[in-house]
Amino acid sequence: MSKVVDSRNSVILEKTDEGYSAYLPDLPGCISTGRTIAEIKSNIKDAIDFHIEGMRIENMPIPGKFDREFDLSFKMDVASLFEWFSGILTKSGVSRLTGMNQSLISQYVSGSKSPSGKQTKRIERALHNLGQELLEIEL
């Protein structure tokens, strides 16, 4: 029986006073910052390459997920998601996709209320479903 190994690595994005910071729980010490989410995504990829190169030079063991080609997934809070996709994702649109009350979505976006794990998964699932539907469209 072959073992399936997850090659996706979670990058945690966090809002800071000056932009964003990012780190990987599976690669301790690898961090980066950026003013925008697009910038931090690029910067963390460079930081990973630099970090792994340094580990190789120091003959340190490289975590298994990073000794071959891998993908990154970016984990962020709901407010950061809406900031990143402002002008594309609207509160009313996400309300329709999720079946959640628009005023509740507004509280999540403003940060005045944090979604529970169940609500976060509900939003994530709705957005992933939308993405899948869009991938199936040909123009």
pLDDT number for residue 66? 81
Q: Cα–Cα–Cα angle for 26, 32, 35, nearest 5°?
A: 140
Q: How far is CA 27 from the centre of its chain?
A: 16
pTM for this model (two decimals): 0.74
pLDDT digit string, tens, across residues 31-78: 999 998 889 999 999 999 999 999 999 999 988 888 777 888 899 888
Residues of the chain with pLDDT > 90: what percent? 63
Domain borders along the chain are 7-76, 77-139
Query: Is CATH 3.30.160.250 what the domain over 7-76 is classified as, yes or no?
Result: yes
d(CA 103, CA 22): 29
